[in-house]
Structure 1
Amino acid sequence: MNQELNPLNDEQAVEIFKALSNQTRVSILQMLKDPEPHFSPEAHVIKDEGFEKGVCVSDIRSKIGMSQSTTSQYLSILQQSGLLEMKRIGQWTYYRRNEETIKLFEKYIGSKI
């Protein structure tokens, strides 16, 4: 199933640019690119269960040093822009990068900007 993904439209790209307009949100994406070096071995980093590289909200909050509400808001903005995926497992909420959207955004920048 190597089907071509639909390209981003200008409105979707603008939402991504808005999400990336904050250094902490950019840092979250950078840490989630390869979570194991950025989070302690005790962190809730999923290695299987179909959500590899997912990191628990509480571990992200601890790493960025912000309140729970600010962390949740930043993660929500990144998710709404399509840059993050979220999954609830039991009582925990995990986030990981949405690599498909990131590739589409790279393609958008390369072809439109």
Structure 2
Amino acid sequence: MKKPTTALAEVDIDAIHKALANPVRREILAWLREPETYFADQELMLEHGVCAGRIDARCGLSQSTVSAHLAALQKAGLVTTKRVGQWVFFKRNEPVIEAFLAHMNAQL
């Protein structure tokens, strides 16, 4: 089994479970796995991540609802953020996701 690159002590398993309990959050994570497919129209390069406004538009929900979903994903450590000027960009936090999956694989 591949050893996770993030120490399990840094991964809040319960927070991740809570974040993943919502289908919108799982969908956002799936979109962020392939940003070039789902957010090809983003003007800035995807190396920074995906702009929160693009995620809002794709979700079709209110900005405040999407912000709450993104905050839950960030709190669980599943995404990272980067501020560039007035914009906030989101990326999947692959080391945390890998550590969580390794934990689940070992426990179940």
Question: Which range, TM-score by smaller chain?
Answer: 0.7 to 0.9
Q: Which residue number in structure 2 is paired with residue 101 of structure 1? A: 96
Separation in 2 of the partners of 1:45 and 1:28? 19
Q: Which residue number in structure 1 is paired with residue 83 of structure 2? A: 88
Q: CA RMSD in A?
A: 2.0
Separation in 1 of the partners of 2:9 and 2:50? 26
Separation in 1 of the partners of 2:6 and 2:28? 25
Of all paired residues, the percent bearing the same amino acid is: 36
Q: Which residue number in structure 2 is paired with residue 5 of structure 1? A: 6
Q: Which has the higher contact order (CA 8 A, sep 6+)?
A: 2
Unaligned runs of 5+ in 1: none
**Residue 82 of structure 2: SS of its match in structure 1?**
strand
Structure 2 length normalisation: TM-score? Answer: 0.88
Task: Give the count of matched residue pairs.
Answer: 105
Q: Which has the higher helix share?
A: 2
Q: Which residue number in structure 1 is paired with residue 36 of structure 2? A: 36
**Equivalences for residues 15-94 of structure 1 within 5 A:** 15-41=15-41, 43-44=42-43, 46-48=45-47, 51=48, 54-94=49-89
Please tell me whether the aligned partners of residues 61 and 67 of structure 1 are also in contact (alpha carbons under 8 angstroms).
yes
